[in-house]
C-alpha cells in the first residue's frame, strides 16, 4: 500500500519548541546569516545594547586603574627609624592603617614637615603608650581599596551575570528549547497541506472501509451524535512493517480535511524524569485546541509495552508515560472531535489496558497485499519512472508473493537505478529481474574465482534440488537455477508459487522436505559422501517435520499440540519452551519426526536414483551455462514447456542472475501470505532451505522459526567462513 502522490504535506513549522521562523529574523541579510559567517563579522551594537554598556564599563574601570594614585603616601622608612623619631619628639601626627601600616608627618631638625610611611612588623603594645607620652596626635583607618582590588572582586560576578544574560539571549533565539523539553515534539500538518487521500492508497480496501467511519465523524459528527452513537476514541493500525500504516493515517486526515499531529512513540521518553508524561499532556492539549484533528502515534509499542513485566523491574519512566496516556485517553471526550490513531507491528507486547474498549476501541489489520494489490502498488510507483512497454507488472506482481508495499517500492527504485547505471532511456524487464535478485540474495559476486571441481559439486547439489520439482506433485514450479555466487551463496535453485495461498497441506510440506533432501541425496549419489554445505537443508527439514508432529497434528499422534512456544523475556513470560508432556510422549514425538524424515528421504532418493542420467545432464549443463530457467530445463529434459507470456514462471533472459522471489523483507514462512519461494542456504551463516514455508496462524517475524530471512525459498549454499563446503543447493 503506497502513496501515488509525490507531494509531502505542508507542516506548520517544526516541533513546538523549534525556532521561530519569522521573516524579520535578526542577523539575516540577503538570505545569509552574517552573525554566523566567520568571514563576515558585523556586530550590530543597536541590537546588543547591553553588550555595549558592558564594554564601556570595562573601559572605565581600566582607566580608573590606570590613572588612580596607587603610590605610597610619603617616604617609606624603617620601623626602627620611626621609633627613633618618635622618642626624639619629631613625629607630629600618626595614622595607623589596618594595624599593619603607619602613615604620618614629622618635623626635621631643619624645621621642614615631611610625610612618611612605615610597616608595623609586629603588634607593639608600647606604641600607643609612647604616642601618648610624646603627645602625638594619632588615629586609625582601614586599608583603602584600590580600583584593581575592586575589579578583582567584581569581575567574577560580572562574568556570571553576563553568562546568564547570554544564555537567555540564546534561548530566546532558539525558541526557548531548553525550557520546553516537556513540550510535545509532534509534527503538525495543516489540513490544507495534506494532499494524500484514500484514492492515493493502492489496495487495503478493508482497512480503508474501517477508517471511513472516522472520516465521516470528523466531517459530520452530528450524523452520529444525534442518535446517541459514540465514535471510537482510538483506532490501532496493526500490520507488518512496510504495509502502509502511516500512509493510511495521513490519508485519513487528508480525506477528512483536518489537522494531523504525527509523533513517534520513542519521542516521549528522554533523559529527564517526567518528560514523557509532560509531552503526553501537551500533545493532547494541542489536539483539543486544534479540534477537529487526528493525533497519530507511530510505533506505539515503544511506549505502550506491558507494565511491570521483565526481569529487574520495569522502566519507570516509560510506565509513567503510559499511565499518563491511559489517563488522557480515558478522559477524552468523543465530542471534542479528536481521534487518536496509532500504529504498531507488535500488538502482542502492548499493555492490555491500552487495548480495552474506551481507549483503542477498534483494531484495524493492515495485511500484506495480494496479487491484485501488488500489481496496483507497482503501477503507482512505476508511474513515476519511464517504463518500457515490455514490462509486465502482473507478472512481477505474481512473482513477488509476500512482499509489502515498501518492498515493492524498493524493487521499482532498484530497477530504475540499474537502468540509469546502464545509461538506458527506459526501465526494462531485465532491470526488474536484476533488482529482485539483488534484494533477495545480494549482489552477484562475478569476480569470485571457483575451481571446476567445486563448481561441479555445486551444480550437482543444485540439480538435486531442481530435478525434484518436476517429479513431485505438490511442489512449487521451479523458476531458475544458477551456480553463480550471489551474496553468501554459491548457487541457487529458485521456485515460485503459481498463486497466493494461505494454508498448506501435509502433501505440500512433505514435498518441501523431499526437495530439501535433494542436495544431500545428490552428493551421496555422486560422491558417496556429503559436505557441511547441507547443514541448513537438514535443519530445516527436521524443523518442518517436528512442527508437523507437534503443532499441526500431521502424524499418528493425532490432533494434539505439544509444548509451548518461547515468550519474550521482557514481557515477563516463559524464558524457555515449557515441556507439558512426559518422557514417553517425547520419545513418541521423536519417532514420528524420524518416521516422516525417513519416508521423505527414501522417496526422494528413489526419484533421483531412477533419473540419475537427467541429474547428471542437468548438472553438466549448469556448469556450462551457469544459469538455467524453467523452460530451458524443460527443453533440456523433455518436459512440457510453459509458454504463457503472462506466467511469472515463463522463461527469463539468461543473464547469469538469479531472478526469483520477493524483495528482501517479504515474510518467509508466513502462510497467511504465500511466501513459498525456495531458498536453501547450507552453512551456519544464513538460514537455508525456504522449503520450510509452513502454514501458520499468524505472521512471524522475518527469518523466524528457521525460515529464510530474505522471504524467498530458493536453495542457496552458504559461502560464509566456517561453513565447510560453501556450495549452494
Q: What is the pLDDT of residues 495-540, one digit of tens each?
A: 877 777 778 899 999 999 999 999 999 999 998 988 877 888 899 8
Q: What is the pLDDT of residues 495-505, one digit of tens each?
A: 877 777 778 89
Provide the β-strand partners of residue 75. Answer: 116
Q: What is the pLDDT of residues 644-661, one digit of tens each?
A: 444 443 333 333 333 333
Top-confidence residue, 126 or 411: 411
Strands 362-366 vs 234-239: parallel, antiparallel or unpaired: parallel
> Of 256, 241, 242, which Cα lies nearest the Cα of 377?
242
Q: What is the pLDDT of residues 395-409, one digit of tens each?
A: 888 888 888 889 999
Cell of 423: 545509461
Vertex 451: Cα angle to 446 and 455 (nearest 5): 75
Banded pLDDT at 288 (limits 50, 70, 90) = confident
- Average pLDDT of the segment spanning 679-692: 38
What does the pLDDT read at residue 617? 92
Please check the confidence at residue 422 and state whether its pLDDT lies above 50: yes
Class of residue 131 by CB neighbours under 10 A (exposed 0-12, middle 13-18, buried 19+) = middle
Please give the Cα distance from 416 to 411 (Å, whole number). Answer: 9
Please check the confidence at residue 40 and state whether its pLDDT lies above 70: no
- Average pLDDT of the segment spanning 188-210: 76
- Average pLDDT of the segment spanning 437-463: 80
- Average pLDDT of the segment spanning 269-287: 77
Please give the Cα distance from 327 to 277 (Å, whole number). Answer: 10
* CATH code matching the domain that covers 75-147, chosen among 3.20.20.80, 3.30.720.210, 3.40.50.1400, 3.40.1160.10: 3.30.720.210
Q: Which of 191, 414, 462, 605 is catalytic?
A: 462
Class of residue 512 by CB neighbours under 10 A (exposed 0-12, middle 13-18, buried 19+) = buried
Q: State which fold the 371-441 domain adopts.
A: Helicase, Ruva Protein; domain 3 (1.10.8)
Top-confidence residue, 125 or 26: 125
What does the pLDDT read at residue 663? 32
Top-confidence residue, 439 or 467: 467
Please give the Cα distance from 279 to 87 (Å, whole number). Answer: 84
The answer to which of 174-183, 215-224, 245-254 has the lowest mean pLDDT is 174-183
Banded pLDDT at 147 (limits 50, 70, 90) = low
End-to-end CA distance of the chain: 34
Strands 714-718 vs 489-495: parallel, antiparallel or unpaired: antiparallel
Please give the Cα distance from 528 to 73 (Å, whole number). Answer: 115
Please check the confidence at residue 664 and state whether its pLDDT lies above 80: no
Top-confidence residue, 322 or 670: 322
- On the question of a cis peptide bond just before residue 352, with omega within 30 degrees of 0, the verdict is no
Banded pLDDT at 123 (limits 50, 70, 90) = low
Q: What is the DSSP string of 95-112?
A: EEETTTEEEEEEE-TTS-
Are 201 and 33 contacting, i.e. CB atoms less than 8 angstroms apart? no
Using alpha carbons, list the distances in angstroms from residue 571 to 168, 300, 324, 703. Answer: 45, 16, 21, 21
> Of 399, 404, 401, 395, which Cα lies nearest the Cα of 377?
404
Please check the confidence at residue 319 and state whether its pLDDT lies above 90: no
Using alpha carbons, list the distances in angstroms from residue 445 to 196, 272, 679. Answer: 42, 49, 17
Banded pLDDT at 56 (limits 50, 70, 90) = confident
Please check the confidence at residue 264 and state whether its pLDDT lies above 90: no
So where are the chain's domains? 75-147, 205-307+314-365, 371-441, 452-563+581-637
Say which residues have a Cβ less than 8 Å from residue 592's Cβ, sequence separation at least 6: 549, 555, 556, 557
What does the pLDDT read at residue 507? 92
Cell of 540: 530445516
Vertex 60: Cα angle to 54 and 62 (nearest 5): 105
Please give the Cα distance from 546 to 531 (Å, whole number). Answer: 24
Using alpha carbons, list the distances in angstroms from residue 527 to 522, 524, 608, 614, 623. Answer: 8, 5, 14, 17, 17
Burial 381-408 (b: 16+ CB within 10 A, else e): bbeebebeeebbbebbbbbbbbbbbbbb
- CATH class for the domain made up of 205-307+314-365: alpha beta
DSSP reduced 3-state for 329 = helix
Please give the Cα distance from 37 to 632 (Å, whole number). Answer: 67
Query: For the chain, what's the residue count?
Result: 729
Percent of the chain past pLDDT 90, that is, above it, reads 15
- Average pLDDT of the segment spanning 423-440: 87
Top-confidence residue, 67 or 674: 67
- Average pLDDT of the segment spanning 447-468: 85
Please give the Cα distance from 481 to 673 (Å, whole number). Answer: 24
DSSP reduced 3-state for 124 = coil
Banded pLDDT at 7 (limits 50, 70, 90) = very low
Please give the Cα distance from 13 to 22 (Å, whole number). Answer: 11
What does the pLDDT read at residue 538? 92
Please give the Cα distance from 186 to 533 (Å, whole number). Answer: 51
- Average pLDDT of the segment spanning 199-209: 85
Cell of 605: 532418493
What does the pLDDT read at residue 404? 87
> Of 480, 461, 389, which Cα lies nearest the Cα of 426?
389
Are 685 and 666 contacting, i.e. CB atoms less than 8 angstroms apart? no
Say which residues have a Cβ less than 8 Å from residue 729's Cβ, sequence separation at least 6: 461, 462, 464, 465, 491, 492, 493, 518, 519, 533, 534, 537, 680, 682, 688, 689, 715, 716, 717
Please check the confidence at residue 466 and state whether its pLDDT lies above 70: yes
The answer to which of 145-154, 236-245, 294-303 has the lowest mean pLDDT is 145-154
Q: What is the pLDDT of residues 542-600, one digit of tens each?
A: 999 999 999 899 998 888 888 765 555 444 444 455 677 888 989 999 999 999 999 99
Q: What are the binding residues for Zn(2+)?
A: 461, 465, 537
Top-confidence residue, 216 or 187: 216
What does the pLDDT read at residue 173? 53
Using alpha carbons, list the distances in angstroms from residue 118 to 78, 101, 660. Answer: 6, 6, 104
Are 667 and 498 contacting, i.e. CB atoms less than 8 angstroms apart? no
Q: Please indicate whether residue 462 is annotated as part of the active site.
A: yes
Percent of the chain past pLDDT 70, that is, above it, reads 68
Please give the Cα distance from 314 to 321 (Å, whole number). Answer: 12
Burial 133-172 (b: 16+ CB within 10 A, else e): ebebebeeeeeeeebeeeeeeeeeeeeeeeeeeeeeeeee
How many Cα atoms within 13 Å fall on the side-chain side of residue 300?
A: 31
> Of 629, 691, 634, 703, which Cα lies nearest the Cα of 666?
703
User: Is 1.20.58.760 the CATH classification of the domain at 452-563+581-637?
Assistant: yes
Q: What are the binding residues for ATP?
A: 239-246
Backbone angles phi, psi at 68, to 5 degrees: -75, 150
Q: What is the pLDDT of residues 151-194, one digit of tens each?
A: 777 777 877 887 787 777 666 554 445 445 455 555 555 555 56
The answer to which of 2-11, 103-112, 720-729 has the lowest mean pLDDT is 720-729
What does the pLDDT read at residue 615? 92
Other CB atoms within a 10 A radius of the CB of residue 495 amount to 30
CA dihedral 192, 194, 200, 202 (to 10 degrees): -150
Amino acid at each position: 500500500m503506497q502513496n501515488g502522490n509525490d507531494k509531502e504535506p505542508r507542516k506548520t513549522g517544526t516541533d513546538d519548541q523549534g525556532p521561530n521562523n519569522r521573516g524579520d529574523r535578526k542577523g539575516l541579510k540577503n538570505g545569509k546569516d552574517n552573525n554566523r559567517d566567520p568571514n563576515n563579522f558585523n556586530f550590530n551594537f543597536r541590537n546588543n545594547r547591553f553588550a555595549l554598556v558592558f564594554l564601556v564599563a570595562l573601559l572605565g574601570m581600566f582607566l580608573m586603574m590606570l590613572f588612580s594614585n596607587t603610590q605610597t603616601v610619603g617616604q617609606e622608612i624603617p620601623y626602627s627609624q620611626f621609633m627613633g623619631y618618635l622618642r626624639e619628639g619629631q613625629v607630629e601626627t600618626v595614622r595607623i592603617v589596618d594595624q599593619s601600616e603607619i602613615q604620618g608627618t614629622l618635623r626635621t631638625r631643619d624645621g621642614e614637615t615631611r610625610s612618611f610611611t612605615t610597616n608595623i612588623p609586629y603588634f607593639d603594645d608600647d606604641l600607643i603608650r609612647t604616642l601618648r607620652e610624646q603627645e602625638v596626635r594619632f588615629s586609625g583607618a582601614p586599608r583603602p581599596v584600590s580600583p584593581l582590588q575592586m575589579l578583582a572582586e567584581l569581575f567574577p560576578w560580572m562574568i556570571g551575570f553576563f553568562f546568564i544574560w547570554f544564555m537567555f539571549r540564546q534561548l530566546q533565539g532558539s525558541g526557548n528549547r531548553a525550557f520546553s523539553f516537556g513540550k510535545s515534539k509532534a509534527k503538525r500538518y495543516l489540513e490544507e497541506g495534506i494532499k494524500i487521500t484514500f484514492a492515493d492508497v493502492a489496495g487495503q480496501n478493508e482497512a480503508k472501509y474501517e477508517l471511513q467511519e472516522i472520516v465521516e465523524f470528523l466531517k459530520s459528527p452530528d450524523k452520529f451524535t444525534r442518535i446517541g452513537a459514540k465514535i471510537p476514541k482510538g483506532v490501532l493500525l496493526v500490520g507488518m512493517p512496510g504495509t502502509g500504516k502511516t500512509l493510511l493515517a495521513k490519508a485519513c486526515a487528508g480525506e477528512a480535511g483536518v489537522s494531523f499531529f504525527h509523533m513517534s512513540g520513542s519521542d516521549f521518553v528522554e533523559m529527564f524524569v517526567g518528560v514523557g508524561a509532560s509531552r503526553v499532556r501537551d500533545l493532547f492539549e494541542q489536539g483539543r485546541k486544534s479540534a477537529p484533528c487526528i493525533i497519530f502515534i507511530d510505533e506505539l509499542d515503544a511506549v505502550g509495552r506491558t507494565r511491570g513485566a521483565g526481569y529487574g523491574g520495569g522502566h519507570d519512566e516509560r510506565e509513567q508515560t503510559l499511565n499518563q496516556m491511559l489517563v488522557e485517553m480515558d478522559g477524552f471526550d468523543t465530542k471534542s472531535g479528536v481521534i487518536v490513531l496509532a500504529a504498531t507491528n507488535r500488538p502482542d507486547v502492548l499493555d492490555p489496558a491500552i487495548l480495552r474498549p474506551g481507549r483503542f476501541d477498534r483494531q484495524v489489520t493492515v495485511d500484506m497485499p495480494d496479487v491484485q494489490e501488488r500489481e496496483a502498488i507497482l503501477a503507482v510507483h512505476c508511474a513515476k519512472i519511464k517504463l518500457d512497454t515490455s514490462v509486465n507488472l502482473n507478472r512481477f506482481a505474481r512473482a513477488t508473493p509476500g512482499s509489502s508495499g515498501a518492498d515493492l517500492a524498493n524493487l521499482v527504485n532498484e530497477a530504475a537505478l540499474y537502468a540509469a547505471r546502464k545509461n538506458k532511456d527506459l526501465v526494462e524487464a531485465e532491470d526488474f529481474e536484476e533488482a529482485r535478485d539483488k534484494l533477495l540474495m545480494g549482489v552477484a559476486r562475478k569476480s569470485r574465482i571457483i575451481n571446476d571441481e567445486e563448481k561441479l559439486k555445486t551444480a550437482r547439489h543444485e540439480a538435486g534440488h531442481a530435478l525434484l520439482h518436476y517429479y513431485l506433485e505438490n511442489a512449487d514450479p521451479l523458476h531458475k537455477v544458477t551456480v553463480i555466487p550471489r551474496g553468501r551463496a554459491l548457487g541457487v535453485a529458485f521456485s515460485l508459487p503459481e498463486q497466493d495461498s494461505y494454508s498448506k497441506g501435509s502433501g505440500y510440506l512433505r514435498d518441501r522436505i523431499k526437495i530439501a533432501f535433494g542436495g544431500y541425496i545428490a552428493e551421496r549419489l555422486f560422491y558417496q559422501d556429503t559436505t557441511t554445505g547441507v547443514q541448513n537443508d537438514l535443519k530445516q527439514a527436521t524443523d518442518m517435520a517436528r512442527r508437523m508432529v507437534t503443532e499441526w497434528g500431521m502424524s499418528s499422534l493425532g490432533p494434539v499440540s505439544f509444548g509451548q512456544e518461547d515468550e519474550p523475556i521482557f514481557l515477563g513470560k516463559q524464558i524457555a519452551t515449557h515441556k507439558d508432556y512426559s518422557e514417553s510422549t517425547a520419545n513418541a514425538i521423536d519417532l514420528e519426526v524420524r518416521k516422516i524424515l525417513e519416508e521423505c528421504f527414501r522417496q526422494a532418493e528413489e526419484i533421483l536414483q531412477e533419473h540419475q542420467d537427467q541429474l547428471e545432464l542437468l548438472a553438466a549443463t549448469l556448469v556450462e551455462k551457469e544459469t538455467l530457467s524453467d523452460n530451458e530445463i524443460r527443453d533440456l529434459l523433455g518436459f512440457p514447456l510453459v509458454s504463457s507470456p503472462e506466467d511469472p514462471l515463463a522463461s527469463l533472459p539468461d543473464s547469469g542472475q538469479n531472478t526469483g522471489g520477493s524483495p528482501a523483507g517479504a515474510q518467509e514462512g508466513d502462510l497467511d501470505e504465500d511466501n513459498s519461494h525456495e531458498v536453501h542456504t547450507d552453512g551456519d551463516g544464513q538460514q537455508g532451505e525456504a522449503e520450510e514455508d509452513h502454514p501458520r496462524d499468524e505472521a512471524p517475524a522475518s527469518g523466524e522459526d528457521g525460515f529464510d530471512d530474505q522471504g524467498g525459498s530458493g536453495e542457496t549454499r552458504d559461502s560464509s567462513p566456517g561453513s565447510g563446503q560453501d556450495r549452494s543447493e
